[in-house]
Amino acid sequence: MKFSINNSPKTVARYGYPDWRKKLILMLLIGSLSLLVVSLICLNFGVTSIHPRVILSILGNKAGDKTTGLIIWQLRAPRIVLGVITGAALSTVGGAFQGILRNPLADPYILGVSAGAALGACLGITLQHLTGYFFTSYLPFFAFIGAMFSLYLVYLSSKISYSANSTGLLLAGVAISFLFSALITILMAISHKELQSMVFWLMGGLSTANWQTIGIITPPTLMGCLLLFFSALDLNALSLGEEEALYLGVNTGRLRIRIFLVGSLVTAMVVSFTGIIGFVGLVIPHIARLLVGPDHRLMLPASAFLGGIFLVLCDTLARTVIAPIEIPIGAITALVGAPLFIYLLRKENK
Amino acid sequence: MTDHEHILTLKGVYFSYNHKREILSDINFYSTKGELLGIIGPNGSGKTTLLKIISGVLRPQRGEIYFLNQSLNKLPIEQIAQFISVVPQDTWVTLNFKAKEVVFMGRLPFISRLKGETLKDYQISQEAMEKTQSLSLAENNIQEISGGERQRVFMAKALAQTPRLLLLDEFTSHLDLSYKYEMLKLLKTALKEEGLTIISVFHDLNLASLASHRLILLKEGKIEQIGTPPEVLTAENLQRVYGVKPFIINHPVLQVPQVIM
């Protein structure tokens, strides 16, 4: 009887249930602090290394050298902020998708959003190549349209085959992904001179980061992640099974549509600027679960922080390891993430 | 309000998946406050489907379901969960929650997603665990306890939902004899003292006879007979429904029929 032993009146009143709100606040504090420290450290690294004291004085607006200020403010800082937002968004969506599908292998791209975004962007690049007009800054727009189109197709085909249940949506997502991959390959063959820029969309990267981009994606991403967070209790209930969740008054049909729609929108938003960054949304939720337990009210925010930190670190590696050449960040996330994931799984099973 | 008010009434209920074979046809019955109504019948006779229809997870194609005087047909699941709770046959939990966290989920129909839970929700969860003797399991991971222990935890969760109607689907199937006995005692107390009403599917006819005030005998989705255990558990009825003729003897203490081969 673990409940009655504790004599502190406050704990007795909580009946052995720890206060998750306090845990959440503590996590927000630790998370923000680590995020800040990691970001400041990563500001140091790059093609030219800049002394931390110089960075602090630039950030404190006591700037000296103009070029250095430009590198910090216009190149590295937005890149780090974009990394944080992207990592946080992909990980939160991944966690929510794993919850709604009751499947540990789910990731933010499971409904084919990634293939759609990549196809949209590659279509834009091919058009550039064929027409000779350049509209590189509009490529995110193409990518977003592609992502939305794939989502629409998934929804349509799932409606034809099954009712809008998870399996139907999943299968439709897989089918659409394959179809779009085939189309991308054809586009690559047509405009093979643009291969380099197409690979960017398939492997992802944060090099397009600027403050304008961040201004565009931050509000909807933040709102989407908050919406997912407020479905945390429903996702908890769903771990007992679809029917059990219904018995607990969770409208699972509506929950599924809400999570899929919000999650895919957030993913599309991010992927349209960064390309497909894999592995973050799959691995980070598992690490978060190992650290804070399965409760989505803690697990989703933990995923956001861990994902942000992880992606900023990966990006720093991507742009420094063989500088000035940049490695696609998707390669780094997989390279770091896969062994880490297997190690954790082994540890969990022991 | 009398003690014998009809808490649940089904009128002419039909159900089929995708309008194919009818799983349930022309189901009519009521259940009075404070009674334990047992549902028996062979495999595939529609017992579990009937529970799902009552709980609102499945909606009937025809017919009406009333809880007191309120129609359940169009009532959203969020509201039904505030007065009907269910203990399913067995469930596998995909995430490794602690037992006490699973019990606490019984409070979900009453928790605002924006404001979160209150101390009262914890208190009710704790009481439900005490009643079902699952308090000692509170800190255990739900994936790592036995089937019988899990059933007690799920019973606690269903009670934490503070239902007025409790639906059970062969809830004793994994329980040891001693816990089976304790659980029946607990349910009888809940019926008497808390005004709970229980509808339970039984696979074990003898347990059904011991526990229920009245029995519904289902055959191929139709009600074959409703009545007290001595009225329903006759050799003729059982032969008609199950196809074999058993012996019926009288329980030496409780004076209810018991079925032996």
Where are chain A's structural domains? 34-349
pLDDT of residue A3: 45
Tens-place pLDDT, residues B45-70 = 999 999 999 999 999 999 999 998 89
Structure tokens given for A334: 């997989």
β-pair type (B197-201, B36-40): parallel
Where do we find the tokens 């009545």? B227
pLDDT of residue A102: 87
Contact A244 B88 (CB under 8 A): yes
The span from the CA of B23 to the CA of A326, in Å, is 63
Lowest mean pLDDT across A222-231, A339-348, B27-36, B103-112: A339-348
Residues of B with CB under 8 A from a CB of A: 52, 55-57, 76-82, 85-86, 88, 91-97, 100-102, 104-106, 108-109, 111, 113-114, 116, 119, 122-123, 125-126, 135-136, 138-139, 161
Among candidates A1, A99, A241 on the partner chain, residue whose Cβ is nearest the Cβ of B91: A241
pLDDT of residue B1: 44
Q: Where is B12: in which H helix or E strand?
A: strand B6-16
pLDDT of residue A12: 55
pLDDT of residue A1: 37
Name the minimum distance, in Å, from the CA of B246 to any CA of chain A: 36
pLDDT of residue B234: 93
Where do we find the tokens 């969860």? B125
Name the minimum distance, in Å, from the CA of B91 to any CA of chain A: 7
| Overall average pLDDT of the B23-47 stretch | 93
Q: Percentage of chain A surpassing pLDDT 70?
A: 91
Residues in B touching A102 (Cβ below 8 Å) = 94
Half-sphere exposure of A29 (CA within 13 A, CB side): 6
Contact B108 A231 (CB under 8 A): no
Contact A248 B104 (CB under 8 A): no
Structure tokens given for A249: 């008054």
More confident residue, A105 or B34: B34
Residues in B touching A9 (Cβ below 8 Å) = none
pLDDT of residue A64: 62
Where would I find the H helices in chain B?
Answer: 47-55, 77-80, 99-104, 119-131, 147-160, 177-193, 205-211, 229-232, 235-242
Q: Which fold has domain A34-349?
A: ABC transporter involved in vitamin B12 uptake, BtuC (1.10.3470)
Among candidates B104, B111, B138 on the partner chain, residue whose Cβ is nearest the Cβ of A2: B138
Cβ(A334)–Cβ(A279) below 8 Å: yes
Given a cut of 90, is residue B222 above it in pLDDT?
Answer: yes
Question: Helices A296-320 and A280-292 meet at what angle, rounded to 10?
Answer: 130
Tens-place pLDDT, residues A13-46 = 677 888 888 999 999 999 999 999 999 888 888 7
Given a cut of 90, is residue B123 above it in pLDDT?
Answer: yes
pLDDT of residue B205: 92
pLDDT of residue A325: 82
Q: Which segment, A100-114, A321-335, B84-98, B206-220, is predicted with the most confidence on average?
A: B206-220
The chain A residue lying nearest B89, using CA atoms, is A244
DSSP string, B36-72: EEEEE-STTSSHHHHHHHHHTSS--SEEEEEETTEE-
| N- to C-terminal Cα separation, chain B | 44
Name the minimum distance, in Å, from the CA of B14 to any CA of chain A: 21
Q: What is the rounded (10 degree) CA torsion for B54, A251, B160, B116?
A: -160
Question: Helices A52-59 and A20-44 meet at what angle, rounded to 10?
Answer: 110
Contact B106 A248 (CB under 8 A): yes
CATH 2.60.40.10 is held by the domain B6-83+163-260: no
| Overall average pLDDT of the B224-247 stretch | 93
Show Cβ contacts of residue A220 under 8 Å, excluding neighbours closer than 6 positions. A265, A266, A269
pLDDT of residue A63: 58
Cβ(B143)–Cβ(B96) below 8 Å: yes
Question: Helices A77-101 and A252-274 meet at what angle, rounded to 10?
Answer: 150
The answer to whether the peptide bond before residue A108 is cis (omega within 30 degrees of 0) is no
The whole-chain average pLDDT of chain B stands at 90
pLDDT of residue A312: 95
Name the minimum distance, in Å, from the CA of A237 to any CA of chain B: 7
The span from the CA of A286 to the CA of A229, in Å, is 17
Where are chain B's structural domains? 6-83+163-260, 95-162
Name the minimum distance, in Å, from the CA of A5 to any CA of chain B: 13
Q: Percentage of chain A surpassing pLDDT 90?
A: 38
Please give the backbone phi and psi of residue A204, each rounded to the nearest 5 degrees, phi first: 80, 160
Structure tokens given for A212: 């304008």
More confident residue, A126 or A94: A94
Where do we find the tokens 């022991």? A350
**For residue A4, what pLDDT band results from cuts at 50, 70 and 90?**
very low
Residues in B touching A247 (Cβ below 8 Å) = 55, 57, 81, 85-86, 88
Lowest mean pLDDT across A193-197, A206-210, B30-34: A193-197
pLDDT of residue A6: 45
Interface A:B, Cβ pairs < 8 A:
96
Structure tokens given for A28: 């927000």
Cβ(A275)–Cβ(A204) below 8 Å: yes
Given a cut of 50, is residue A7 above it in pLDDT?
Answer: no
The chain B residue lying nearest A103, using CA atoms, is B94
Given a cut of 90, is residue B125 above it in pLDDT?
Answer: yes
More confident residue, A72 or B129: B129
The whole-chain average pLDDT of chain A stands at 85
Contact B55 A247 (CB under 8 A): yes
Where do we find the tokens 């800040």? A36
More confident residue, A97 or B182: A97
The span from the CA of B154 to the CA of A2, in Å, is 20
The chain B residue lying nearest A296, using CA atoms, is B95
Where do we find the tokens 């789910």? A106
The chain B residue lying nearest A163, using CA atoms, is B18
The answer to whether the Cα torsion of A293, A299, A301, A302 is positive or negative is: positive
Cβ(A199)–Cβ(A328) below 8 Å: yes
pLDDT of residue A2: 39
**For residue A50, what pLDDT band results from cuts at 50, 70 and 90?**
confident
The C-alpha angle with vertex A80 and arms to A75 and A86, in degrees rounded to 5, equals: 125
DSSP reduced 3-state for A151: helix
If phi over 0 gives left and psi between -120 and 50 gives alpha, with beta otherwise, what is residue A209? beta
Tens-place pLDDT, residues A239-271 = 999 899 999 999 998 998 899 889 988 998 898
The chain B residue lying nearest A162, using CA atoms, is B18
Nearest to B159 by CA among B106, B111, B123, B117: B106
Which class for B70: exposed (0-12), middle (13-18), buried (19 or more C-beta within 10 A)? exposed
